[in-house]
Chains A and B, each alone.
Chain A
Amino acid sequence: MASLKILRQRIRSVTNTRQITKAMKMVAAAKLRRSQERAMATRPYSSQMGRMVQSIASRVGKGAAPPLLAGRSEPQKVVELMVFTADRGLCGSFNSGVIRAVRAKVAELRASGFEVSLVCVGRKGSDVLKRQFGDIIRRVHVGVGKHLTFETAEQEVAQQVLRDFEHGRFDSCFMVYNTFVSAMTQELTWRQIIPVPEESVQEEEQESLSPPSYEPEEEEILAELLPRNVAVQIFQAMVESDASENGARMTAMDNAVRNAGGMLRRLHITYNRTRQAAITTELMEIISGSESLKG
Protein backbone atom coordinates (compact mmCIF):
# COMPACT_ATOMS: atom_id res chain seq x y z
CA MET A 1 0.00 0.00 0.00
CA ALA A 2 1.23 3.44 -0.89
CA SER A 3 2.58 5.58 1.88
CA LEU A 4 0.58 8.48 3.25
CA LYS A 5 2.98 11.02 1.85
CA ILE A 6 2.67 9.71 -1.69
CA LEU A 7 -1.10 9.62 -1.39
CA ARG A 8 -1.15 13.21 -0.19
CA GLN A 9 0.91 14.26 -3.18
CA ARG A 10 -1.40 12.43 -5.58
CA ILE A 11 -4.42 14.06 -4.06
CA ARG A 12 -2.87 17.46 -4.43
CA SER A 13 -1.92 16.93 -8.04
CA VAL A 14 -5.33 15.57 -9.02
CA THR A 15 -6.98 18.54 -7.31
CA ASN A 16 -4.82 20.86 -9.39
CA THR A 17 -5.69 19.02 -12.56
CA ARG A 18 -9.35 19.28 -11.76
CA GLN A 19 -8.96 22.98 -11.16
CA ILE A 20 -7.31 23.47 -14.54
CA THR A 21 -9.77 21.40 -16.50
CA LYS A 22 -12.62 23.21 -14.81
CA ALA A 23 -11.17 26.54 -15.88
CA MET A 24 -10.72 25.29 -19.43
CA LYS A 25 -14.29 24.11 -19.47
CA MET A 26 -15.48 27.55 -18.42
CA VAL A 27 -13.42 29.22 -21.12
CA ALA A 28 -14.69 26.80 -23.76
CA ALA A 29 -18.27 27.34 -22.61
CA ALA A 30 -17.93 31.10 -22.89
CA LYS A 31 -16.38 30.84 -26.34
CA LEU A 32 -18.93 28.29 -27.39
CA ARG A 33 -21.79 30.69 -26.88
CA ARG A 34 -20.25 33.25 -29.17
CA SER A 35 -19.15 30.88 -31.87
CA GLN A 36 -22.42 28.98 -31.78
CA GLU A 37 -24.32 32.19 -32.38
CA ARG A 38 -22.02 32.97 -35.26
CA ALA A 39 -22.45 29.54 -36.80
CA MET A 40 -26.21 29.90 -36.61
CA ALA A 41 -26.03 33.42 -38.01
CA THR A 42 -24.11 32.40 -41.11
CA ARG A 43 -26.43 29.57 -42.03
CA PRO A 44 -29.16 31.70 -43.65
CA TYR A 45 -26.67 33.37 -45.97
CA SER A 46 -25.00 30.22 -47.16
CA SER A 47 -28.24 28.36 -47.66
CA GLN A 48 -29.75 31.31 -49.56
CA MET A 49 -26.60 31.47 -51.62
CA GLY A 50 -26.77 27.76 -52.36
CA ARG A 51 -30.37 28.10 -53.45
CA MET A 52 -29.57 30.97 -55.73
CA VAL A 53 -26.65 29.18 -57.35
CA GLN A 54 -28.79 26.13 -57.92
CA SER A 55 -31.62 28.06 -59.47
CA ILE A 56 -29.33 29.93 -61.87
CA ALA A 57 -27.32 26.81 -62.60
CA SER A 58 -30.41 24.95 -63.67
CA ARG A 59 -31.03 27.66 -66.24
CA VAL A 60 -27.60 27.84 -67.80
CA GLY A 61 -26.85 25.38 -70.57
CA LYS A 62 -24.19 22.76 -69.89
CA GLY A 63 -22.00 24.06 -72.67
CA ALA A 64 -21.90 27.64 -71.43
CA ALA A 65 -21.37 26.80 -67.77
CA PRO A 66 -18.03 27.91 -66.32
CA PRO A 67 -15.69 25.20 -64.97
CA LEU A 68 -16.38 26.22 -61.38
CA LEU A 69 -19.96 25.09 -61.89
CA ALA A 70 -19.79 22.17 -64.26
CA GLY A 71 -16.23 20.95 -63.75
CA ARG A 72 -13.60 20.58 -66.40
CA SER A 73 -14.45 18.65 -69.50
CA GLU A 74 -11.33 16.50 -69.47
CA PRO A 75 -11.26 13.59 -67.04
CA GLN A 76 -10.47 14.49 -63.45
CA LYS A 77 -7.02 13.80 -62.11
CA VAL A 78 -6.31 15.82 -58.99
CA VAL A 79 -8.68 16.03 -56.07
CA GLU A 80 -8.12 18.58 -53.39
CA LEU A 81 -9.26 17.96 -49.84
CA MET A 82 -9.68 20.83 -47.41
CA VAL A 83 -9.24 19.65 -43.87
CA PHE A 84 -10.70 21.77 -41.10
CA THR A 85 -9.31 21.06 -37.65
CA ALA A 86 -8.59 23.04 -34.52
CA ASP A 87 -5.36 24.89 -33.82
CA ARG A 88 -5.10 23.31 -30.41
CA GLY A 89 -5.76 19.93 -28.91
CA LEU A 90 -7.50 18.84 -25.73
CA CYS A 91 -10.87 18.59 -27.34
CA GLY A 92 -11.67 14.92 -27.29
CA SER A 93 -11.98 13.14 -30.60
CA PHE A 94 -12.64 16.36 -32.50
CA ASN A 95 -9.39 16.41 -34.47
CA SER A 96 -8.77 12.70 -34.64
CA GLY A 97 -12.19 12.09 -36.16
CA VAL A 98 -11.44 14.43 -39.03
CA ILE A 99 -7.96 13.04 -39.52
CA ARG A 100 -9.18 9.46 -39.59
CA ALA A 101 -11.76 10.38 -42.23
CA VAL A 102 -9.10 12.12 -44.34
CA ARG A 103 -6.79 9.11 -44.19
CA ALA A 104 -9.54 6.80 -45.32
CA LYS A 105 -10.54 9.17 -48.12
CA VAL A 106 -7.01 9.62 -49.40
CA ALA A 107 -6.54 5.86 -49.51
CA GLU A 108 -9.84 5.46 -51.29
CA LEU A 109 -9.11 8.16 -53.88
CA ARG A 110 -5.64 6.83 -54.55
CA ALA A 111 -7.01 3.35 -54.99
CA SER A 112 -9.31 4.66 -57.71
CA GLY A 113 -6.44 6.41 -59.46
CA PHE A 114 -6.74 10.04 -58.43
CA GLU A 115 -3.98 12.29 -57.25
CA VAL A 116 -4.73 13.98 -53.96
CA SER A 117 -3.62 17.27 -52.49
CA LEU A 118 -4.43 18.63 -49.07
CA VAL A 119 -5.11 22.06 -47.67
CA CYS A 120 -5.09 22.14 -43.90
CA VAL A 121 -6.96 24.81 -42.02
CA GLY A 122 -5.91 24.52 -38.40
CA ARG A 123 -2.60 23.43 -36.97
CA LYS A 124 -3.55 20.10 -35.44
CA GLY A 125 -4.58 18.51 -38.69
CA SER A 126 -1.37 19.41 -40.45
CA ASP A 127 0.75 18.31 -37.48
CA VAL A 128 -0.55 14.80 -37.76
CA LEU A 129 -1.07 14.57 -41.50
CA LYS A 130 2.34 15.87 -42.50
CA ARG A 131 3.97 12.78 -41.04
CA GLN A 132 2.10 10.60 -43.47
CA PHE A 133 1.24 12.95 -46.33
CA GLY A 134 3.92 15.63 -46.01
CA ASP A 135 4.52 15.65 -49.74
CA ILE A 136 0.94 16.35 -50.79
CA ILE A 137 0.06 19.11 -48.33
CA ARG A 138 -0.28 22.20 -50.45
CA ARG A 139 -0.89 24.82 -47.79
CA VAL A 140 -1.47 25.16 -44.11
CA HIS A 141 -3.51 27.97 -42.62
CA VAL A 142 -2.88 28.53 -38.95
CA GLY A 143 -4.54 31.03 -36.70
CA VAL A 144 -7.24 32.15 -39.10
CA GLY A 145 -9.85 31.10 -36.57
CA LYS A 146 -8.76 33.71 -34.09
CA HIS A 147 -10.40 36.79 -35.49
CA LEU A 148 -12.57 35.13 -38.03
CA THR A 149 -14.57 37.39 -40.29
CA PHE A 150 -15.89 36.66 -43.71
CA GLU A 151 -13.45 39.04 -45.30
CA THR A 152 -10.35 37.46 -43.79
CA ALA A 153 -11.65 34.01 -44.67
CA GLU A 154 -12.17 35.11 -48.23
CA GLN A 155 -8.86 36.92 -48.61
CA GLU A 156 -6.66 34.38 -46.90
CA VAL A 157 -8.19 31.04 -47.73
CA ALA A 158 -10.73 31.20 -50.51
CA GLN A 159 -8.73 33.38 -52.89
CA GLN A 160 -5.85 30.95 -52.90
CA VAL A 161 -8.10 27.98 -53.52
CA LEU A 162 -9.70 29.77 -56.44
CA ARG A 163 -6.34 30.77 -57.86
CA ASP A 164 -5.12 27.18 -57.66
CA PHE A 165 -8.21 26.05 -59.47
CA GLU A 166 -7.74 28.62 -62.22
CA HIS A 167 -4.17 27.49 -62.70
CA GLY A 168 -5.37 23.94 -63.09
CA ARG A 169 -3.66 22.60 -59.99
CA PHE A 170 -6.71 20.54 -59.10
CA ASP A 171 -10.00 19.54 -60.70
CA SER A 172 -12.36 19.11 -57.84
CA CYS A 173 -12.39 20.11 -54.23
CA PHE A 174 -13.98 18.61 -51.15
CA MET A 175 -14.14 19.95 -47.62
CA VAL A 176 -14.23 17.87 -44.49
CA TYR A 177 -15.26 19.50 -41.24
CA ASN A 178 -17.36 19.07 -38.15
CA THR A 179 -20.83 20.52 -38.40
CA PHE A 180 -22.13 21.92 -35.18
CA VAL A 181 -25.18 20.07 -33.92
CA SER A 182 -25.09 20.73 -30.21
CA ALA A 183 -22.43 21.20 -27.55
CA MET A 184 -22.34 17.45 -27.14
CA THR A 185 -22.44 16.35 -30.76
CA GLN A 186 -20.62 17.30 -33.91
CA GLU A 187 -21.29 15.73 -37.22
CA LEU A 188 -18.45 14.93 -39.55
CA THR A 189 -19.39 16.41 -42.91
CA TRP A 190 -18.03 15.94 -46.40
CA ARG A 191 -19.00 18.59 -48.86
CA GLN A 192 -18.06 19.12 -52.45
CA ILE A 193 -17.50 22.76 -53.34
CA ILE A 194 -15.83 22.61 -56.76
CA PRO A 195 -17.52 21.87 -59.05
CA VAL A 196 -20.90 22.72 -57.59
CA PRO A 197 -22.75 19.47 -56.91
CA GLU A 198 -26.04 19.09 -58.67
CA GLU A 199 -28.83 18.96 -56.21
CA SER A 200 -32.00 16.98 -56.50
CA VAL A 201 -34.55 19.05 -58.34
CA GLN A 202 -37.28 19.91 -55.89
CA GLU A 203 -38.00 23.53 -56.67
CA GLU A 204 -39.16 22.63 -60.13
CA GLU A 205 -42.84 23.51 -59.60
CA GLN A 206 -42.12 26.91 -58.12
CA GLU A 207 -39.64 27.69 -60.87
CA SER A 208 -41.96 26.82 -63.67
CA LEU A 209 -44.43 29.44 -62.44
CA SER A 210 -42.23 32.42 -63.06
CA PRO A 211 -38.89 32.38 -64.83
CA PRO A 212 -37.08 35.36 -63.32
CA SER A 213 -35.25 37.89 -65.40
CA TYR A 214 -31.55 38.41 -64.85
CA GLU A 215 -29.67 41.62 -64.62
CA PRO A 216 -26.98 41.47 -66.01
CA GLU A 217 -26.99 38.21 -67.99
CA GLU A 218 -26.94 34.82 -66.27
CA GLU A 219 -23.34 34.17 -67.26
CA GLU A 220 -22.15 37.43 -65.78
CA ILE A 221 -23.97 36.82 -62.53
CA LEU A 222 -22.59 33.33 -62.36
CA ALA A 223 -19.06 34.58 -62.91
CA GLU A 224 -19.47 36.72 -59.79
CA LEU A 225 -21.59 34.35 -57.82
CA LEU A 226 -19.55 31.17 -58.09
CA PRO A 227 -16.27 32.36 -56.57
CA ARG A 228 -18.25 34.02 -53.85
CA ASN A 229 -20.18 30.85 -53.24
CA VAL A 230 -16.92 28.98 -52.75
CA ALA A 231 -15.78 31.62 -50.27
CA VAL A 232 -19.07 31.44 -48.42
CA GLN A 233 -18.96 27.67 -48.18
CA ILE A 234 -15.41 27.82 -46.85
CA PHE A 235 -16.36 30.47 -44.35
CA GLN A 236 -19.33 28.41 -43.26
CA ALA A 237 -17.09 25.38 -42.75
CA MET A 238 -14.68 27.45 -40.67
CA VAL A 239 -17.41 28.83 -38.48
CA GLU A 240 -19.05 25.44 -37.99
CA SER A 241 -15.72 23.87 -37.20
CA ASP A 242 -14.95 26.61 -34.70
CA ALA A 243 -18.24 26.13 -32.89
CA SER A 244 -17.82 22.37 -32.91
CA GLU A 245 -14.32 22.69 -31.53
CA ASN A 246 -15.46 24.69 -28.56
CA GLY A 247 -18.34 22.31 -28.00
CA ALA A 248 -16.05 19.32 -28.16
CA ARG A 249 -13.56 20.92 -25.83
CA MET A 250 -16.24 21.81 -23.35
CA THR A 251 -17.55 18.25 -23.32
CA ALA A 252 -14.08 16.77 -23.08
CA MET A 253 -13.15 19.06 -20.22
CA ASP A 254 -16.41 18.34 -18.47
CA ASN A 255 -15.60 14.65 -18.62
CA ALA A 256 -12.12 15.32 -17.34
CA VAL A 257 -13.46 17.32 -14.40
CA ARG A 258 -15.86 14.55 -13.51
CA ASN A 259 -13.15 11.96 -13.91
CA ALA A 260 -10.83 13.86 -11.62
CA GLY A 261 -13.64 14.16 -9.08
CA GLY A 262 -14.13 10.40 -9.05
CA MET A 263 -10.45 9.78 -8.74
CA LEU A 264 -10.20 12.22 -5.84
CA ARG A 265 -13.01 10.46 -4.03
CA ARG A 266 -11.26 7.11 -4.40
CA LEU A 267 -7.93 8.57 -3.35
CA HIS A 268 -9.48 10.14 -0.25
CA ILE A 269 -10.96 6.81 0.79
CA THR A 270 -7.63 5.04 0.35
CA TYR A 271 -5.89 7.85 2.19
CA ASN A 272 -8.27 7.69 5.14
CA ARG A 273 -8.11 3.92 5.27
CA THR A 274 -4.34 3.95 5.28
CA ARG A 275 -4.28 6.60 7.95
CA GLN A 276 -6.78 4.65 10.06
CA ALA A 277 -4.75 1.47 9.62
CA ALA A 278 -1.63 3.26 10.75
CA ILE A 279 -3.40 4.60 13.86
CA THR A 280 -4.81 1.19 14.64
CA THR A 281 -1.43 -0.48 14.44
CA GLU A 282 0.05 2.22 16.61
CA LEU A 283 -2.69 1.79 19.24
CA MET A 284 -2.21 -1.97 19.17
CA GLU A 285 1.47 -1.51 19.82
CA ILE A 286 0.88 0.85 22.76
CA ILE A 287 -1.75 -1.39 24.31
CA SER A 288 0.24 -4.55 23.94
CA GLY A 289 3.27 -2.71 25.35
CA SER A 290 1.43 -1.55 28.46
CA GLU A 291 -0.17 -5.00 28.87
CA SER A 292 3.21 -6.63 28.91
CA LEU A 293 4.49 -4.08 31.50
CA LYS A 294 1.51 -4.84 33.75
CA GLY A 295 2.05 -8.55 33.61
Chain B
Amino acid sequence: MYATFQFDLVTPEKQVLSQDEVMLTVPGAEGYFGVLPGHAPLVTLLTMGVLTVGEGKEAVRYAISGGYAEVLPERTTVLADRVVCWDAIDPAAVGAEKMEAAGRYAATREEESASRYWKKRERFADVCLDLHKQYLARSSS
Protein backbone atom coordinates (compact mmCIF):
# COMPACT_ATOMS: atom_id res chain seq x y z
CA MET B 1 0.00 0.00 0.00
CA TYR B 2 1.18 3.50 -0.72
CA ALA B 3 1.39 6.10 2.03
CA THR B 4 0.85 9.05 -0.30
CA PHE B 5 0.03 9.71 -3.93
CA GLN B 6 1.13 12.24 -6.48
CA PHE B 7 -1.41 15.04 -6.78
CA ASP B 8 -1.53 17.63 -9.56
CA LEU B 9 -3.98 20.50 -9.65
CA VAL B 10 -3.86 22.35 -12.95
CA THR B 11 -5.88 25.11 -14.56
CA PRO B 12 -5.54 26.23 -18.17
CA GLU B 13 -3.45 29.13 -16.96
CA LYS B 14 -1.06 27.43 -14.61
CA GLN B 15 -0.07 24.43 -12.55
CA VAL B 16 -1.38 25.24 -9.10
CA LEU B 17 -0.17 22.28 -7.09
CA SER B 18 2.08 19.33 -7.73
CA GLN B 19 2.89 17.47 -4.57
CA ASP B 20 2.54 14.29 -2.56
CA GLU B 21 -0.77 14.14 -0.81
CA VAL B 22 -2.52 11.85 1.65
CA MET B 23 -6.13 12.68 1.08
CA LEU B 24 -8.48 14.66 -1.14
CA THR B 25 -12.17 15.42 -1.15
CA VAL B 26 -13.36 16.10 -4.65
CA PRO B 27 -16.68 17.58 -5.86
CA GLY B 28 -17.58 14.91 -8.42
CA ALA B 29 -20.47 15.22 -10.83
CA GLU B 30 -22.36 12.60 -8.84
CA GLY B 31 -21.46 13.80 -5.37
CA TYR B 32 -18.39 14.51 -3.30
CA PHE B 33 -15.96 11.66 -2.97
CA GLY B 34 -12.73 11.07 -1.09
CA VAL B 35 -9.47 9.98 -2.63
CA LEU B 36 -6.91 8.04 -0.65
CA PRO B 37 -3.72 6.39 -1.89
CA GLY B 38 -4.51 3.27 -3.91
CA HIS B 39 -7.92 4.48 -5.06
CA ALA B 40 -9.46 2.50 -7.91
CA PRO B 41 -8.97 4.12 -11.32
CA LEU B 42 -11.68 6.65 -12.05
CA VAL B 43 -12.33 9.41 -14.52
CA THR B 44 -14.99 11.89 -13.56
CA LEU B 45 -16.50 15.24 -14.31
CA LEU B 46 -16.38 17.78 -11.50
CA THR B 47 -19.05 20.23 -10.55
CA MET B 48 -18.69 23.61 -9.02
CA GLY B 49 -17.74 23.16 -5.41
CA VAL B 50 -15.00 22.85 -2.87
CA LEU B 51 -11.92 20.73 -3.27
CA THR B 52 -10.26 19.79 -0.01
CA VAL B 53 -6.58 18.92 -0.11
CA GLY B 54 -5.08 17.15 2.88
CA GLU B 55 -6.81 15.88 5.98
CA GLY B 56 -7.81 17.13 9.39
CA LYS B 57 -6.60 20.51 10.56
CA GLU B 58 -4.00 20.99 7.84
CA ALA B 59 -6.51 20.68 5.06
CA VAL B 60 -6.50 23.46 2.49
CA ARG B 61 -9.65 24.17 0.56
CA TYR B 62 -10.06 25.45 -2.96
CA ALA B 63 -13.13 26.73 -4.72
CA ILE B 64 -13.28 25.20 -8.18
CA SER B 65 -15.73 25.99 -10.92
CA GLY B 66 -15.86 22.55 -12.52
CA GLY B 67 -13.50 20.44 -14.53
CA TYR B 68 -12.28 16.87 -14.64
CA ALA B 69 -10.41 14.51 -12.41
CA GLU B 70 -8.43 11.47 -13.29
CA VAL B 71 -7.75 9.19 -10.35
CA LEU B 72 -5.16 6.42 -10.50
CA PRO B 73 -3.82 4.38 -7.57
CA GLU B 74 -0.62 6.42 -7.26
CA ARG B 75 -1.53 9.59 -9.10
CA THR B 76 -4.47 11.98 -9.19
CA THR B 77 -4.85 14.85 -11.60
CA VAL B 78 -7.49 17.52 -11.28
CA LEU B 79 -8.05 19.69 -14.32
CA ALA B 80 -10.07 22.62 -13.06
CA ASP B 81 -11.54 25.53 -15.00
CA ARG B 82 -10.92 28.05 -12.27
CA VAL B 83 -9.32 27.63 -8.90
CA VAL B 84 -9.22 29.96 -5.93
CA CYS B 85 -7.47 29.03 -2.71
CA TRP B 86 -9.49 29.88 0.37
CA ASP B 87 -6.84 32.16 1.83
CA ALA B 88 -6.75 34.18 -1.41
CA ILE B 89 -10.40 35.17 -1.50
CA ASP B 90 -11.06 38.87 -1.33
CA PRO B 91 -14.75 39.19 -0.38
CA ALA B 92 -15.04 42.74 -1.74
CA ALA B 93 -13.68 41.79 -5.16
CA VAL B 94 -15.75 38.63 -5.31
CA GLY B 95 -18.86 40.57 -4.31
CA ALA B 96 -18.22 43.05 -7.12
CA GLU B 97 -17.73 40.22 -9.57
CA LYS B 98 -20.95 38.64 -8.44
CA MET B 99 -22.84 41.86 -9.00
CA GLU B 100 -21.36 42.21 -12.46
CA ALA B 101 -22.09 38.61 -13.38
CA ALA B 102 -25.66 38.93 -12.17
CA GLY B 103 -26.12 42.06 -14.26
CA ARG B 104 -24.64 40.50 -17.36
CA TYR B 105 -26.74 37.41 -16.83
CA ALA B 106 -29.90 39.48 -16.83
CA ALA B 107 -28.72 41.35 -19.93
CA THR B 108 -27.84 38.27 -21.97
CA ARG B 109 -30.84 36.16 -21.08
CA GLU B 110 -31.71 35.54 -24.75
CA GLU B 111 -28.30 34.29 -25.73
CA GLU B 112 -28.01 30.84 -24.33
CA SER B 113 -24.27 30.25 -24.17
CA ALA B 114 -23.45 33.73 -22.86
CA SER B 115 -26.10 33.66 -20.17
CA ARG B 116 -24.99 30.23 -19.08
CA TYR B 117 -21.46 31.57 -18.81
CA TRP B 118 -22.46 34.51 -16.62
CA LYS B 119 -24.74 32.40 -14.45
CA LYS B 120 -21.78 30.16 -13.83
CA ARG B 121 -19.61 33.11 -12.84
CA GLU B 122 -22.28 34.26 -10.45
CA ARG B 123 -22.55 30.87 -8.82
CA PHE B 124 -18.80 30.61 -8.57
CA ALA B 125 -18.70 33.93 -6.72
CA ASP B 126 -21.23 32.46 -4.27
CA VAL B 127 -19.06 29.43 -3.68
CA CYS B 128 -16.06 31.69 -3.05
CA LEU B 129 -17.95 33.81 -0.53
CA ASP B 130 -19.14 30.72 1.26
CA LEU B 131 -15.64 29.33 1.40
CA HIS B 132 -14.32 32.62 2.71
CA LYS B 133 -16.72 32.37 5.64
CA GLN B 134 -15.45 28.88 6.36
CA TYR B 135 -11.91 30.20 6.24
CA LEU B 136 -12.68 32.95 8.71
CA ALA B 137 -14.46 30.49 11.00
CA ARG B 138 -11.46 28.19 10.94
CA SER B 139 -8.94 30.94 11.64
CA SER B 140 -10.94 32.30 14.56
CA SER B 141 -11.46 28.95 16.26
- What is the interface of chain A, defined by CB distance below 8 A to chain B? 38, 41-42, 44-46, 48-49, 52, 55-56, 149-151, 155, 159, 210-216, 220-221, 224-225, 232, 235
Contacts and interface: CB of A to CB of B under 8 A. Distances in A.
Interface string B93-108: 0000000000000000
Given A49-B79, A52-B70, A214 B44 contact: yes
A225 B44 CA distance: 10
Contacts of B79: 45, 48-49, 52
Interface of B: 8, 10-15, 28-30, 40-45, 68, 70-73, 77, 79, 81-82, 113-114, 117
Tell me what chain A mostly uses at the interface: helix, strand, loop, or mixed: helix
Contacts of A225: 68
B43 A214 contact: yes
Contact of A213 (B8, B13, B15, B41): B41
Contacts of B41: 210-213
Contacts of A214: 42-44
B45 A44 contact: no
24 contacts: A38-B13, A41-B15, A42-B12, A45-B11, A45-B13, A45-B15, A48-B8, A52-B70, A149-B13, A150-B12, A150-B81, A210-B72, A212-B40, A212-B42, A212-B70, A213-B42, A214-B42, A214-B43, A214-B44, A221-B43, A224-B45, A224-B68, A232-B12, A235-B12
Contacts of A213: 40-43
A213 to B, nearest CB: 5
A151 B80 CA distance: 12
Nearest to A210: B41
Contacts of A42: 12-14
Contacts of A46: 12
Given A41-B13, A215-B42, A216-B29, A210 B8 contact: no
Given A42-B12, A52-B43, A215-B28, 18 more contacts: A38-B13, A41-B13, A42-B14, A44-B10, A45-B11, A45-B12, A48-B8, A48-B77, A55-B43, A149-B13, A150-B13, A211-B41, A213-B40, A213-B41, A215-B43, A215-B44, A220-B45, A221-B43
